[in-house]
Amino acid sequence: MKKMTSNLPKMTPRNVGVALLVAFIAFEQDMPVSIARVIDNPVGQIAVFAAAIYLFTVSRVLGAVALVAAYELVRRAQKKTGRRAALKFLPGEDKKYRELTLMNQFPATLEEEVVSNMIAFVEDSSIGQASFKPHLSELHQATHL
């Protein structure tokens, strides 16, 4: 019996961490919505991946498993909040712009043709002196502006 247990790796914190991360990756756990909302934003994702990269300083194996677990954690958070489906099925701005541009291709209307064919009404001669003088009527106690 002693020979069997001597072949097992020691239960160091690194090995326990690797085992827990492998269990997280292997088993599809349901994530609470509150945690998923915290992780499914840019700041949360940066924090998760920064923690995974930090674990590379502890151990290369632990860091590699942590990177896979971080990816899986972000993927599950996006699935829980619905962002993954939105990114997959909702069109982006470029696609919407192209579709709307295709829909807005129609011939010029009669009004546009008339306006483009109109002759500009501009007279170069200067206007002479006016034959009347403006007169200000009763102000009814109002002030001049």
State the pLDDT confidence band at 7, using cuts at 50, 70 and 90. Answer: low
Q: Say which residue the tokens 């990816």 belong to.
A: 71
Question: What does the pLDDT average to over 63-80?
Answer: 93
- In tens, the pLDDT along 46-57 reads 999 999 999 989
Q: What pTM does this model have?
A: 0.58
Residue ranges per domain, the chain? 30-90
- In tens, the pLDDT along 133-143 reads 777 777 787 77
Q: What is the predicted pLDDT for the residue at 104? A: 85
Mean pLDDT of the chain: 84
**Nearest one of 87, 90, 79 to 33, comparing CA atoms:** 79
Q: What is the 3-state secondary structure (H, E, C) of the chain?
A: CHHHHHCCCCCCHHHHHHHHHHHHHHCCCCCCHHHHHHHCCHHHHHHHHHHHHHHHHHCHHHHHHHHHHHHHHHHHHHHHHCHHHHHHHCCCHHHHHHHHHHHCCCCCCHHHHHHHHCCCCCCCCCCCCCCCCCCCCCCCCCCCC
CA 97/CA 101 separation, integer angstroms:
6
Question: What does the pLDDT average to over 18-44?
Answer: 90
The three-point CA angle 105-107-112 to 5° equals: 120
Residue 98 has pLDDT above 70, yes or no: yes
Residue 2 has pLDDT above 70, yes or no: no
